[in-house]
Copies of this chain bind each other. A is one copy, B any other.
Amino acid sequence: MFGSVRKCVNSCFVNTYIVLRNAKLHTRPDFTKNNFNVTRGYYNTLEENHIQFFYQLLGEQRVIVNVSDLERYNVDWFRHLRGNSSIVLRPKTTEEVSHILSFCNQNRLAVCPQGGNTSMVGASVPIFDEIVINTDLMNEIISLDDTSGVLVCQAGCILENLNNYVNKKDLMIPLDLGAKGSCHIGGNVSTNAGGLRLLRYGNLHGNVLGLEVVKADGEILDCLNTLKKDNTGYHLKHLFIGSEGTLGFVTKVAIQCPPKPKSINLAFLGLQTYEKVLKAYKLAKHSLGEILSAVEVMDTPTMQLVNEHLHLPSPIGDYPFYLIIETSGSNEKHDLEKLNTFLDLSLVKHFVLNGTVTSEPSKCQAIWNIRERIPEAFHKDGYVFLYDVTLPLQNYYTLVKEIREYMGNKAHRVFGFGHLGDGNLHLQITVKKYSPEIKSFIEPYIFEKVIEMNGSISAEHGIGFLKAKYLHLAKSNAAINLMQDLKDVLDPKGILNPYKVLPRE
């Protein structure tokens, strides 16, 4: 029964996501090329004979050239970026993608692979006039082996649809995101998407068993392995997981689906200090072990924000820190027993000051609402600078405190929340009004601080267009040079998703 509520909670979040997107439709960003210091690459421009080739290949219905229809493919989710593409292609098959890329490569036409266009870093929109190749019609589920749990599907399948499909066989997709109602599995793979289930099920490098990829020159690379163990030669698929469409175009995915849990429980805890948060987390890892499926943290300003804008108060009163701990297991009685034991120990050891444990759907929903409606709340709080970073746990909250001090009265609010179990912090800064001065006051300072604290400047959102100029902070010269070498091998003319990931000249 909880499952359906959990789905409802996620749907609320997805609805929030769509509401926010629609709310912003009236603000139309200027062309990216005018707003950012970026130079068009040495590519040819689209000509009439190119369009004719695409018409012939896909039919007129699957080639979009109408200016108003193009808008949604050119503009990113945050509506910070706007490309100037004059064509969107909607292939249905791998072979069509192969023909398109082969043609574009021969004619030196740049392309932008696009799934659900939910990138947070501008990875999925054209920057200049790149041809958009959208995967929305590549949405076929090819097979599901309910013994091994292996699902094979095309890249354009929507994450939530896949999860609903495998749920019927008591399986689940080991990946869950706020954008799951829109994002495509091909995009998830290409960006190595993280999300809520990573703590328990690990990342896509572990869960993706095989990929089919089309190379920049149109060659089809069949690495669509469906076996858990395959040590025959180089593990090529990993080149395309997390390279954001710059090394190849993912067309099919084979993914390992774990069994769907039969019981889910939730604890909401209040804590005095970040040190106690860490102690409670460590205890949870050892007490709950195999059933621990989410550990989310929030600080007081986050709770105040949610309460102020959405009237969602803490169910246990006010505390400096809050933890949400979720368990997913195969036996409700056992799971609840473990969770209660953990809570008792946490209280006895004074790690936790207060808490509530529930498996009751409406209470769970109320708790998840607090966490998952944070984006809705901060959008009401002014202009928001959003940072998605990973930090070693001892430095996790130090960053929030230091940035709060650094910002002083320049910020309206500085707050931190996130997937503690993965060291993934969402640090947000709200200001009354955006200005280039405030942006350059924050960046690159904040990224330098993250690096100084041995963190990662992008935990799960990737580099895309927006963070490419900060890549040198995260990667050594040797690593960036090797990245460039790989790009040169796989895409020598640089037609695949240019201006993204790799540093621009």
Contacts and interface: CB of A to CB of B under 8 A. Distances in A.
A390 B230 contact: yes
A55 to B, nearest CB: 29
Contact of A222 (B146, B234, B479, B502): B479
Interface string A151-173: 00000000000000000001000
Contacts of A485: 489
Contacts of A231: 191-192, 194, 242, 456, 458-463
Contact of A225 (B227, B331, B456): B456
A327 to B, nearest CB: 10
A247 interface: yes
A345 interface: no
A330 B289 contact: yes
Interface in A275-308: 278, 281-282, 285-291
Contacts of A457: 232
Contacts of A238: 205, 235, 238-239, 241
A392 to B, nearest CB: 7
B242 A235 contact: yes
Given A202-B206, A289-B259, A230 B278 contact: no
A329 B456 contact: no
A394 interface: yes
How many copies of this chain sit in the oligomeric assembly? 2
Most chain B CB within 10 A, of A228, A474, A480, is at A228
Nearest to A229: B459
A164 to B, nearest CB: 19
A501 interface: yes
Q: Which 9 A-B pairs have the closest CB atoms?
A: A206-B206, A238-B238, A289-B330, A232-B474, A230-B456, A290-B290, A229-B459, A334-B334, A227-B390
Given A229-B390, A261-B290, A262-B289, 4 more contacts: A192-B235, A202-B202, A232-B474, A235-B242
Interface of A: 145-149, 170, 191-192, 194, 198, 202-203, 205-207, 215, 219-223, 225-236, 238-239, 241-243, 247, 259, 261-262, 278, 281-282, 285-291, 328-331, 334, 337-338, 390-394, 419, 422-424, 454-463, 467, 471, 474-476, 478-480, 482-483, 485-486, 489-490, 501-502
18 contacts: A146-B282, A191-B231, A192-B235, A198-B228, A202-B207, A205-B205, A206-B206, A221-B479, A226-B454, A227-B390, A229-B419, A229-B456, A230-B390, A230-B459, A232-B458, A233-B501, A331-B338, A489-B489
